[in-house]
Amino acid sequence: MRQIAETSLEAYEYLKKSGVLTKRQQEVYEALCVLGRATSKQVAKYLKKPLNAISGRFTELRNAGLIKIVDRIKEEGSRTFLRVYEISRKDVR
């Protein structure tokens, strides 16, 4: 696992305490803090949750400017491309 940037931890703690995020949004945001760059499938696997239980949270967090798409990768053995997400580095306060 990678080291989490101090600014990301501060932003996450602020969001967690403020009640801005739902429980599932918090789980996805926290997973991205830990994993760094990850696809929704990787986050689902990390959280041990079905993809359909968390996929909408990516759109919500992206619309809120808290995460961003940084890449697209081809899924192995498929023609499908997956979005790669990471935490936005903007100040959330």
Residue-wise pLDDT for 35-49, tens only, equals 999 999 999 999 999
Q: What is the CATH number of the domain that holds 45?
A: 1.10.10.10
- What gap in Å lies between CA 43 and CA 54, rounded to an integer? 9
Whether 1 is covered by a domain: the verdict is no
Let me know: does 82 contact 73? Beta carbons within 8 Å. Answer: yes
pLDDT at residue number 5: 55
DSSP H or E segment with residue 26: helix 23-35
Amino acid in the structure at residue 8: S
What domain count does the chain have?
1
* pLDDT at residue 8 tops 70: no
| CA-based max dimension of the chain | 42
- Domain carrying residue 73: 6-87
In a domain, 35, yes or no: yes
Q: Is the pLDDT of residue 1 over 60?
A: no
The verdict on residue 93 lying in a domain is: no
Tell me what the mean pLDDT of segment 16-42 comes to.
Answer: 89
pTM, two decimal places: 0.78
Question: Hunting for tokens 């996929």 — which residue is that?
Answer: 55
Burial class (CB within 10 angstroms; exposed 0-12, middle 13-18, buried 19+) of 66: buried
What pLDDT score was predicted for residue 82?
Answer: 94
pLDDT, residue 9, reads 61
